[in-house]
Structure 1
Amino acid sequence: MSNKIAEFLRAQLSAFIGGMTDLGIYTFCYKILHLSAPLSNVVSGSLGAIVNFLINRYWSFNSTETSVGCQLWKFVIVVLGSIMLKSLGIHYFVDVWGWHFLFSKLLVELIVSLVFNFTLQKFWVFKK
């Protein structure tokens, strides 16, 4: 298996772990704390992002030559954009169109993670 494919698969596993963390917290915030779906996404996305950053830095992209601070500010920008896109998508699917909150979350997560997050993390945040 080529290094690029292995790196992509590691990044997807990292996204999955971060996503499962995010999904668990999202469900807790929405169902137990009764926060709105978009607000639940902001809380869960922020905490899931911390998990994702650490796994990506040390394992997925093995990008420890660059300082944490340099990577972190870029990562925060990507996460803010990601949370904004996801919250907007979830708002439309749940609040406007009445779709199920978990289905909406999973669909939006998949699209934003593959198109927006991976591309910016690989070629900007953790660029070697």
Structure 2
Amino acid sequence: MFRKKAIYTFLQAQIAAFLGGITDYGLMIVFTEVLKLHFTFSILISGTVGAIINFSINRFWVFKNQSGYSSPINNQLFKFTLVVLGSITLKSVGTLIFQKVFQVDYRIGRLITDLFVSYGFNYPLIKNWVFKVNEKHNIIESN
């Protein structure tokens, strides 16, 4: 039962990440190609919009059953903001490295970087820190 729930939560989180990510990536292209911003600035702006979408879906759909609303939104939002700042920094630097060092187009470098950042940084921190299960809350509810 626990494993099935963990897989379901992971899949839900991937949907949230996909929706936030597709918004983020699409806006990055628009800001870079249409508005002619440098892609590192585009990532900053688009990442912020994608993060708002991701946070909302995670809080109200993915992790609501695990953490309930016992954890104040301000605490979750603060932690999420720190994760997003780290994520945007890693994505910007990673994309820049792919572009400058390996001569990879920024759009491809961004996709490669996103894979590593999403699974190795974002998901573990969002699940285990931002929306961490409140064990005391779950025990009380299950009785």
When normalised by structure 2's length, the TM-score is: 0.86
Q: Alpha carbon RMSD of aligned pairs, Å? A: 1.2
| 2:110 counterpart of 1:105 | yes
Q: In the alignment, which residue of structure 2 is the partner of 1:74?
A: 79
Q: Provide the rounded CA distance (Å) in 1 between the counterparts of 2:93 and 2:87.
A: 10
Which structure has the greater CA radius of gyration? 2
Q: In the alignment, which residue of structure 1 is the partner of 2:63?
A: 61
Q: Which amino acid aligns with 1:119?
A: P
Matched-pair contact (CA < 8 Å) for 1:37–1:94: no
| 2:39 counterpart of 1:10 | no
- 1:25-44 equivalent positions in 2, closer than 5 A: 25-44=27-46
Q: Provide the rounded CA distance (Å) in 2 between the counterparts of 1:77 and 1:38.
A: 18
Q: Which ranges of structure 2 fall in alignment gaps of 5 or more residues?
A: 134-143
Paired residue secondary structure (1:97): coil
Instruction: Return the match for 1:115 from 116, 120, 125.
Output: 120
Paired residue secondary structure (1:34): coil
Q: CA deviation at 1:95?
A: 3.2
Q: In the alignment, which residue of structure 2 is the partner of 1:23?
A: 25
Q: CA deviation at 1:61?
A: 1.2
Q: Which amino acid aligns with 1:75?
A: F
Paired residue secondary structure (2:70): coil
Deviant stretches of 4+, over 4 Å:
none
Q: Which ranges of structure 1 fall in alignment gaps of 5 or more residues?
A: none
Q: Provide the rounded CA distance (Å) in 2 between the counterparts of 1:61 and 1:105.
A: 27
Q: CA deviation at 1:88?
A: 0.4
Q: Which amino acid aligns with 1:48?
A: G
Q: Which amino acid aligns with 1:6?
A: Y
